[in-house]
Every structure is written in structure tokens, then in C-alpha cells.
Amino acid sequence: MSRLITITINDKPYQVEPNQTIMQAADKLGFHIPRLCYHPKLSIEGACRVCIVEVEGMKNYVASCAFPVSDGMKIRTNTQALRTARRDIIELILDNHPQDCHTCERDGNCELQRLAASMGIRARHFEGERKRYEKDLSSEAVIRDPEKCILCGRCVRMCSEIQQVHNLTQAHRGFHTVVMPAYNMPMGESVCTACGQCINVCPTAAFLEKNYTQELFEKLNDPNLVKVVQFAPSVRAAIGEAFGLEPGLNMEGQLIASLRKLGFDYVFDTQFSADLTIMEEASEFLERLQSGGVLPMITSCSSAWMKCLEQFYPDLIPNVSTCKSPMSMQGAITKTYFAKKKKIDPRKILSVAVMCCTAKKYEAARPELMFDGMRGVDIVVTTREAAWMIKSAGIDLVNIQPEEPDHPLGISSGAGAIFGATGGVMEAAIRTAYELYTGETLVDIEVEAVRGLKGIKEGSITMDGKEIRVAVAHGLGNACRLLERVRQDPSRYHFIEIMGCPGGCVGGGGQPYAQINSIPLDDENLRKRAQALYDLDKAKTIRRSHDNPDVQKLYKEFLQSPLSPVSHQYLHTHYKAKTPVGIIPRNERTLSGDSK
Amino acid sequence: MTQNQTEKLQAIREAMLAARNDAHPESHLIGILHKVQDVFGYLPREMMDEVAQTLEIPTAHIWGVATFYHYFNLEPIGRHVVSVCMGTACYVKGAASVLETLKKELGVEVGKTTSDGLFTLQEARCLGACGIAPVMMIDEKIYGQLDSKKTVDIINQYRKAAAEEKSAVGAETRRGKP
Ligand code: SF4
Ligand code: SF4
Ligand code: SF4
Ligand code: FES
């Protein structure tokens, strides 16, 4: 550890580590300096100046997010002059901002609002010209509203530094600066993967998911429809946060009860189809392994990753599993097997999915996933949208009596639950592949090597004396570095799991916004959500997908066996190269570190 | 594309291939965009795509640079560039109404080119002809003491000249000339 230095903050001396910024030191000492453009996972932009502090001997205020501490430094964080200066900065931002909080989707959940309130801004002093732009509604998933943008640049850095999609830039300059894709292309025609991480980090309503809540409320009131809903593993681990609960509480039973109260006739669990996915995916992997198929095989559950694949890595399409995602498998089974069993016309089924993910909206609309002229999933709403609907309908999710999912697409194994966390699909697949391959039961089923938030994780298992090398990446930036390794050395791994979002689905682009005193994509928060799923796994008696009795029944009554022609018809798909072609700078692809 | 342009484009492609192998290809970006503009008069989208793919620089990044510097044109430039002086003297003498007249007459906003490709409308800082304010410059030629009517008349002269040229070419073509 390096020698400590002494700084004073607001006239009190403190011993702190050198080589950190004033903001970092102050945070640890319990002084929360206001901030806007800063995010601990992103590079420092120093653009907003909200974080200014006074440093004795310096002529101007300094941006504490960028300025390093030094021995003997005297810092003030809350003088009257500073308070005024900060307030002016926020007032100037507000001056160039629509005054429509009441009709804004971020109302009550907006960092700009919170900042303005914390500065005590109670009147608007600078009323001037303000920017006016059209909303970009072109994407199935992500809406861009430049009028609400305050140019903090967090989305641009998220998209290029963590996701390495590089879809966004701050184009033009000065008053005319706008965050947009290249050539001001509509989002729906850009390289955007629909991951929604720009939404997660945006402090305002400048990025939002395409909202389907009104349409869904309307359809829920249509007596001619049979309303069926499924919800993803990580929704249950996060939705409580939108109701003020602490992160990491499993709200499965309460969510099921709330969805029934909303008007759904059948509440199914996407974890059921996670088990089904494992049956297909593990079988596909073993088939490739035994018949000399293309390896490494790469998972295909993450819709943002699928779009990324088609634009950035078309050369790896043969490596990617042909399995649809659990959501789409569930949709297909709902409108075929379930419809037949219940003698319902599948066209009368409204198939809804509550997902932690914005890209699932894009996925649900993919024409490749249609079967018998139908979409498997008609409407996707995010965890955020579902939480809003539940509140809006006056349902008390926190205190409601928990309920069980419906049958026959409701039972799931522990393996299906951990699908929501990075490494979970791999762990679930290993549990089943091992048994299918060796004929023996894997005793030690908790695969620690693929758990946790390390950017790229590697591990291996031995099946009948054969070593199977696996790797896991979460966040598209980590995926990019892992895939570069694969391009260079295709035989390095046998099986790879990729999830497009940081932390996996628990960190999805549709999860609840950071609550007060929390920041978007906080690692601790992601860990707690993941832990909720691992605890759920542990508590189950059935922990392997192939032991799920309803999945076994589904094969017996409908699908016959994994990879059968019926399975192929409904549960598998294909991918093809798409434009615009994504470009990742060479030096970013070859970064060696396994960063988060 | 003229012989000269083709040669220049070839040189740009070679420069790009050299820059690609540099440890920091992005440090060559602005220079290469300048060269592209030299050839085309603006930055065509296909060329920005080509630069992006060759230098392995994300297109959004190139777009950020291209839009940041006023020097770069993002759209083709018309045959004649009409610059209205917005300096103080001209402004006081009614440059704004000259600009409005031009916008209406040409049917384009500032920075845009008419659909026939004849005019690009621009604003300029002081053109140094304050004595005859308000002024506009078409290509290299200065026109002063403008009012709406005079402005429209001047534009019409250019239109007429272009139309005559076109019919002359048409006549030649009809006579079987290449
Ligand atoms: S983004 Fe925030 S400050 Fe802006 S209108 Fe919406 S709620 Fe209000
Ligand atoms: S959704 Fe993802 S890929 Fe698309 S712009 Fe936002 S961060 Fe980038
Ligand atoms: S869109 Fe949001 S995150 Fe991006 S710069 Fe604007 S305010 Fe910041
Ligand atoms: S948070 Fe420091 S400049 Fe924006």
C-alpha cells in the first residue's frame, strides 16, 4: 500500500490514499459531491462541471471527478459561492430543457430532477432559446429523444467503452450538439444492438425503451383474447427495487400474483423454457462435439448479442447455436403445444413477455422467428414497464400474497433460474451436457469458475476423460475481446456463453432505474440480483434442466426428442450477416485485460 | 470523375492503407478527410464508410469529427456558392432580409444546396466590403447594396446563364457531338 497523504476537506484534516481523484477521496469520507457526467465504470469526461469544488491556491474551481488529490491539499465542497455556481450550472441546463416533467417517463426517477431539487432550484432565471428536435422512434426497442439530452456523454461512453458498439457520438458542436448514430441514421437502421445500456446510464429521458404499456392495458381488456404472460428469471430479482425494496429480493410469487391481478389468464415462467433451451442447446453441443461440427459453440440466448453477431461478427455465425432464446421458445410452445392442449385458437392468444431486456422487443419482431405465420411473443415489456403497470393498476406488489405459476409451462429447475446471471447458461448447460454425455450424474453442480463479475471467465470440465474448455463473457465489450481470441485460436475453447449486458440479464437494459443513493449498474447491486437467483437454485429440489418433469412431458407429448424435426421447426432459427457493418477499433479488440 | 480526381482518390486509398498499419490510425483521420473533401468538395457518405472500414475507426466517431469542424461539408456543393455577409455592418443594413429573400427564392436553408445543384446558400462573417453593405458573394464575385429585388435579379442572371449553357450543350448533342 502506498503512503497516505493528508488533505483537508471543509477545514477538517483526513489521511487518504494518493493517486485518486478528489471525488473518490470525498466519497470514501462520506462527502457526496454532486455529479452528472461521471460514472465509475466509464472514462472521465469532465464535461458537466456540476462536481466543482474549491481548492485553496487554485484560481478557478476544479472538477473533482477529474482532479487528483495531493498532499496538503485544502478542499471545500460546500461554500456559499460554490453552491451558487453549481446551482447556476444546473439552471443553465434546465433552461435548455423541456419543462414537462409531469408528462415525462422519467418523472420521479430522473437524476436531473433530483439534482435540481438538491440544489434548491425553485425558480427559473435564465429563460432563453431552447433546442428542439424530433424523437427518433425508428427502433423496435430504444427511443432517442435529443430534446431531453443534457449532453453528459454517459450513453456515448457506455456504448463505446463498455459495449464497444460505438453507435453513438456527440455530433456538431456548441448549442447544436446532438447525441446520434453516424450520419444521423435512425436508431433502427444503425449498428445499435438494442441492448438498452444507454437507457440505463442516461440521467434523463433522452433514451427510453419503446413503451408498450398502453397497448397492453388495452389488450388486457379485450375479452376475446386469452392472455398469457411469461417473465424472465432476473425480473423477479430486480422488480422489487422499483417498489423501493432493496436489491436482491426474489419477488417471484408476488410478481405472479400481481400479473394475475393485472388480468393475465395464465402466468408462465420463462425459466421453464430456460430448461427447454438447455435440453436443445446441450444436445446441439454434444452433437457438434461428437460429429466434428463447428466449435466452439456460442450461446444464442442474448438478443443484443444476436444483433451484434450479425453486424460485427458474421464470420462466427456458424459457431452460434441455432437455438432460439428461452423467451422465443416459450412463445412458440405457448402457441402450439399449450394452445392445442387447451383447445385454444393460437391466433386468439395474446403472448406477452416481461423481460429485463430491451433487445427482446427487437427479438420478438424478428421475422426469422415466426412460425405458422405467427409471432411467438406479441408484446414485450421491460421490468420497468411491468412495474409501472402494476403500480398504475393499484396493485400492491410488496404486500400481495405470493402465488404459484400456471401449468404446464411454469415449473422450472434451479438451472433455469440461474440463466439470468452471467455464467448461468453455461453452468446449466454443463449440468445437463455432462449427464447426457457420460450417463452419470454430475455431483458437484455449482460451477464456481463461471460465476461472478469478472469480464471474461474460463473453466473446464472433464467428461469421460475428455477435457471441455469453456469461456464466459458478459457485456459486449468483453464479448468482443473473447471473440478476438476465438478468431485467433479457434480450438482454444469448446463452448462459449455470451450475454450482451454487464452482469448478464440481471444488468439488462430494461431493469429498474438506479434508485436514490445508488448508481446505474452498480456491481454490488448486480451481485445481489445474481445472488437471489443462485439462492433460488439452491432452494430447489430439481436443479438440472433434464429433470424438469414438465419439460420431459413436453417432449413426450409434442417435441419427441431434442433436435427432432418438430424441435427444429419451432425452437431453432438461423442468423445472417446484416448491414451496416459494425467496426471495432483494432486496439480495443486486442486489449488483454479482462475488464468489467 | 475526372482523370485528376481518379488519381487523387488512388493516392488517398494508398494513404489510408499506410495509416491503417500505424499504431494510432485515428491520428490520420482528419488529414484523410481533408483529402477526401479536396476530391469531392464534400465528404460523401460512401467515402466516410470506406475510411471507417479501412482505418477500423467506428463510423460514429468519423461522423463526430466530420460534424465538429465547420470546414467539412457534409453535402455536395452547388455550382455556385452564395455567401451572405452577416457581419455587423451588413447586419445593420438588412442582411437578414437578404438572407430571407434568398432562402425563399432558392427554397433552401443555410448550408443546403438547391435540388438542381446550381446554388449552395451560406452565411459568411465580414467579407470586407462594409462600404457597400449589405453584400453577398457568389463564388468570387461581390454584389453590394442589395435589396430583395436586386438579390433576386442577380440570382436570375445565374439561372439564365446556366439555362443557356444547357441548351447550347443540348443543341450540340443533337447535332451529334459527343
Ligand atoms: S428528463 Fe427529467 S427533468 Fe427532464 S422532463 Fe423528464 S423528468 Fe423532467
Ligand atoms: S442500445 Fe446499446 S448498442 Fe444501442 S445505442 Fe444504446 S448502448 Fe449503444
Ligand atoms: S442521451 Fe442521456 S446519457 Fe446521453 S448525453 Fe444525453 S443526457 Fe447524457
Ligand atoms: S461529474 Fe465532474 S465534470 Fe461532470
- Is B63 within 8 Å of A166 when comparing Cβ atoms? no
Residue B73 lies in a domain: no
Reported as a pLDDT band with limits 50, 70 and 90, residue B2 is confident
Q: What is the pLDDT of residues A180-190, one digit of tens each?
A: 999 999 999 99
Residue B74 lies in a domain: no
Residue that has been written with the C-alpha cell 474549491 in this structure: A54
Same structural domain, B108 and B160: yes
Residue pair A206/A373 in contact (Cβ under 8 Å)? The answer is: no
pLDDT at B1 over 80: no
Q: Residue A428: name the closest of A281, A294, A530 by CA.
A: A281
Contacts of A160 in chain B (CB under 8 A): 58, 60
Same structural domain, B143 and B169: yes
CATH value of A124-208 in 3.40.50.300, 3.40.190.10, 3.40.50.720, 3.30.70.20: 3.30.70.20
Is A5-78 a CATH 3.10.20.740 domain?
yes
| CATH number of domain containing B143 | 3.40.30.10
Residue A141: φ, ψ to 5°: -125, -45
**Domains in chain B, number:** 2
Provide the pairing of β-strand A466-474 with A495-499.
Answer: parallel
DSSP reduced 3-state for A302: coil
pLDDT for residue B173: 57
pLDDT at B96 over 70: yes
Residue pair A464/A286 in contact (Cβ under 8 Å)? The answer is: no
Average pLDDT over residues B3-8: 90
Burial A575-588 (b: 16+ CB within 10 A, else e): beeeebebbbbeeb
Active site includes A219? no
Active site includes A505? yes
Which residue among B15, B39, B68 closes a domain?
B68
Q: Is A26 in the pocket of ligand 4 (CB under 6 A)?
A: no
Which ligand does the CA of A46 lie closest to? 4
Same structural domain, B8 and B59: yes
Residue pair B18/B35 in contact (Cβ under 8 Å)? The answer is: no
d(CA A198, CA A500): 13
Same structural domain, B63 and B13: yes
The CA dihedral of B129, B131, B132, B136, to the nearest 10 degrees, is 20
Written in H, E and C, the secondary structure of A507-564 is HCCCCCCCCCCCCCCCHHHHHHHHHHHHHHHHHCCCCCHHHCHHHHHHHHHHHCCCCC
Cell of A291: 460429429
Which H helix or E strand runs over A196? Answer: none
**Structural domain that includes position B58:** 3-68
Which ligand does the CA of A105 lie closest to? 1
pLDDT for residue B178: 41
Cell of A75: 478542499
- Is B64 within 8 Å of A171 when comparing Cβ atoms? yes
Same structural domain, B42 and B120: no
Which residue among B30, B48, B68 closes a domain?
B68
Whether B48 has its CB under 8 Å from any CB of chain A: the answer is yes
What pTM was estimated for this model as a whole? 0.91
d(CA A153, CA A39): 10
Same structural domain, B93 and B144: yes
- Is A583 within 8 Å of B57 when comparing Cβ atoms? yes
DSSP assignment of B69-98 equals: STT--SS---SEEEEEE-SHHHHHTTHHHH
Residue pair A369/A398 in contact (Cβ under 8 Å)? The answer is: no
Residue pair A463/A469 in contact (Cβ under 8 Å)? The answer is: no
Which distant-in-sequence residues (6+ apart) come within 8 Å of A82 by Cβ? Answer: A52, A53, A54, A61, A76
pLDDT at B170 over 90: no
Same structural domain, B99 and B57: no
For residue A97, the ligand 1 atom closest to its alpha carbon is 4
Q: Residue A49: name the closest of A31, A67, A25 by CA.
A: A67
Residue A323: C-alpha distances to residues A300, A414, A424, A562, B148 (Å) = 6, 20, 16, 11, 68
Residue that has been written with the C-alpha cell 454517459 in this structure: A154
Q: Which of A54, A284, A310, A385 is catalytic?
A: A284
Active site includes A404? no
pLDDT for residue A124: 75
- Is B60 within 8 Å of A173 when comparing Cβ atoms? no
Residue B107: φ, ψ to 5°: 70, 30
CA distance, residue A461 to nearest chain B CA (Å) = 37
Same structural domain, B97 and B157: yes
Q: Which residue of B has its CA nearest to A160?
A: B58
Which residue among B39, B68, B97 closes a domain?
B68
Contacts of B57 in chain A (CB under 8 A): 583, 585
Which ligand does the CA of A159 lie closest to? 2
d(CA A165, CA A144): 16
Same structural domain, B47 and B117: no
Q: What is the pLDDT of residues A51-92, one digit of tens each?
A: 999 999 999 999 999 999 999 999 999 999 999 999 999 999
- CATH, range A214-571: 3.40.50.1780
Among the listed ranges A123-132, B62-71, B79-88, B119-128, which one has the minimum average pLDDT value?
Answer: A123-132
Whether A182 has its CB under 8 Å from any CB of chain B: the answer is yes
Residue pair A266/A229 in contact (Cβ under 8 Å)? The answer is: yes
Residue pair A390/A258 in contact (Cβ under 8 Å)? The answer is: yes
Same structural domain, B97 and B160: yes
- Is B45 within 8 Å of A183 when comparing Cβ atoms? yes
Q: Which residue of A has its CA nearest to B20?
A: A586
CA distance, residue B63 to nearest chain A CA (Å) = 5
ipTM over 0.90: yes
Residue B62: φ, ψ to 5°: -65, -40
Residue with the bigger pLDDT between B54 and B111: it is B54
Same structural domain, B91 and B34: no
Residue pair A587/A196 in contact (Cβ under 8 Å)? The answer is: no
Domain residue ranges of chain A, discontinuous segments joined by +: 5-78, 124-208, 214-571
Residue pair A420/A504 in contact (Cβ under 8 Å)? The answer is: yes
Tell me which residues of chain A have a pLDDT lower than 50.
593, 595-596
For A25-28, the CB contacts below 8 A with 24+ separation are A25/A69, A26/A53, A26/A64, A26/A75, A26/A77
pLDDT for residue A476: 97
Residue B117 lies in a domain: yes
Q: Which residue of B has its CA nearest to A589?
A: B56
Same structural domain, B62 and B85: no
